Amino acid sequence: MTSYKGTIGILTGGGDVPGLNPAIRAVTIRAMREGYRVIGIRRGWAGLVDIVPQPDADNSECYKVLTEEVVNRAGRTGGTFLHSSRTRPSHLPKAMVPAHLADRYTDDINDITPDILKNIEFLGLDYLIPIGGDDTLSYGHRLYKEGVKVIAIPKTMDNDVPGTDYCIGFGTCVTRTIELAHTLRTSAGSHERYLVIEVFGRYAGFSALLPTMAGAADRCVIPEHPFDPEHLAEILTYDRNRHPSKYAVVLVSEGATMAHHSGMSFEGEEADQYGHKKLGGIGDKVASDLKRLSPKYNNGKRVNVVSQRLGYLVRCGDPDALDSIVPMAFGNLALDLILNRSNGRLVSVRNGTYDNVPLDVVVGTKKVVDVAKYYNTERFRPFYHSFAQRPTFIMTSDI
* Contact present, 68 and 40 (Cβ < 8 Å): no
pLDDT class of 230 with cuts at 50, 70, 90: very high
Q: Give yes or no: 135 in active site.
A: no
Residue 60 DSSP one-character state: T
Other C-beta atoms lying within 10 Å of the C-beta of residue 18 = 29
Predicted confidence at residue 265, as pLDDT, reads: 60
CB atoms within 10 A of CB 340: 9
Residues 113, 117: Cα–Cα separation, whole Å:
6
Residue 271, pLDDT > 80, answer no
Q: What is the pLDDT of residue 126?
A: 98
Is residue 397's pLDDT more than 60?
no
pLDDT above 90 covers a percentage of the chain that reads 86
- pLDDT score for 5: 94
The catalytic position among 158, 239, 289, 323 is 158
Q: How confident is the model at residue 281 (pLDDT cuts 50, 70, 90)?
A: confident
DSSP-derived 3-state class of residue 358: strand
Confidence of residue 388 (pLDDT cuts 50, 70, 90): confident
Q: Which residues pair with 340 in a beta bridge?
A: none
Buried b (16+ CB within 10 A) or exposed e, 168-189: bbbbbbbbbbbebbeebbeebb
Sorted by where each starts, the structural domains of the chain and their CATH numbers stand as: 6-168+317-364 (3.40.50.450), 172-314+371-382 (3.40.50.460)
Per-residue model confidence as pLDDT tens digits over 295-319? 999 999 999 999 999 999 999 999 9
Q: What pLDDT score does 111 carry?
A: 98
Q: What is the mean pLDDT of residues 188-200?
A: 97
At residue 352 the predicted structure's pLDDT band, cuts being 50, 70 and 90, is: confident
Q: What is the tens place of the pLDDT at every residue in 83-138?
A: 999 999 999 999 999 999 999 999 999 999 999 999 999 999 999 999 999 999 99
Q: What is the pLDDT of residue 387?
A: 80
Q: Is the pLDDT of residue 268 over 80?
A: no
Q: Is pLDDT above 70 for 75?
A: yes
pLDDT averaged over every residue in the chain: 93
Q: Write down the pLDDT at residue 399.
A: 47
Please report which confidence band the pLDDT of residue 266 belongs to, taking 50, 70 and 90 as the band edges.
low
- Range list of β-strands (E), the chain: 6-12, 36-41, 63-65, 92-93, 109-110, 127-132, 151-154, 194-199, 219-221, 248-253, 266-271, 277-279, 305-309, 345-350, 353-358, 375-376, 381-382
